[in-house]
Each structure stands twice: as C-alpha cells, then as structure tokens.
Amino acid sequence: MTAVRPAVPAEYVTARSVLEAAMLEVGPGALRRSSVLVAASDGRVLGALVLAGSEIDAVAVRPGRRGQGIGSLLVRAAAARRPALSASFDPALEPFYASLGFEIVREGGRCRGTLRGPRGPDGTREPDG
C-alpha cells in the first residue's frame, strides 16, 4: 500500500532523484526550505512533491510507477494541508490538474492552476451545500 507522508531529511537525495528523472529541476537547498511529501511503499520512495507555502514547486513519480495514481495521492495530501493550493505547469499536464479540481488558466506557454474551497481530509473537494 502506498502512503504519503512528510519526507525525512535522509530521503531528500531520493526525492531529488525522482524529480530529476522527470526532468524537473529543484534549486540547491530548496528541499530543506520547503515542505517535501513522499509517496512510499515498503520503505521505497515512489514519488515526491515539493511544496513552498501554498505553491506546488514540483511533483513527480518514478518512471516505472507513473499512471498508478501516485501523483494524485501526493497532490491530494498537499491539498489537505493547505486552504488553497496553486501550481504552474506545462500545458501537457492540464488534464492531470483538471482531474484534481484545479481551476486552470493559460499564461503564455504555461498553465496556472488553483485549487480552493473546502476539502475533506484526503484533499478532495467537499460537495457544495
């Protein structure tokens, strides 16, 4: 079973390698200055999310584990920790963020997504009314 939890400092190197495998660059010291969540199963880190305040700086899953809902688990866990969540991303990722309930606008060649409103403990939006 995959569980999402805050990363411990000893996992930062692994989290960085997962992000780099997805061709995402995280600056020096960024992991120590941010909240880092990892998705892990049987002690192995499968995915990582870097959260700076309410902004998703990066989210990635090991190449062999993509398409299994791990990225969605990471984003939902981040959403459960913040009253609002935002991300800037490539237009190819628009369906992913839209499926999680982000309101998306295009800005030049990038997309900007925002997730607001009441959410349950799993990060999903609660129904209105």
pLDDT at 128 over 50: no
pLDDT of residue 129: 42
Determine the 3-state secondary structure of 46 from DSSP.
strand
- With respect to CATH, is domain 3-85 assigned 3.40.630.30? yes
% of the chain at pLDDT higher than 90: 76
Residue 122 has pLDDT above 70, yes or no: no
Query: Does residue 15 register a pLDDT over 80?
Result: yes
Question: β-strands 44-52, 35-41: how paired?
Answer: antiparallel
Mean pLDDT of 70-97: 94
Distances (CA, A) of 50 to 53, 74, 105, 111: 10, 10, 22, 18
Predicted local confidence at residue 120, as pLDDT: 55
77/4 Cα distance (integer angstroms): 7
Domain range summary for the chain, segments of one domain joined by +: 3-85
What confidence category does residue 127 fall into, taking pLDDT thresholds of 50, 70 and 90? Answer: very low
Residue with tokens 């609002």: 84
| Helices marked H in the chain | 12-21, 30-33, 70-81, 94-99
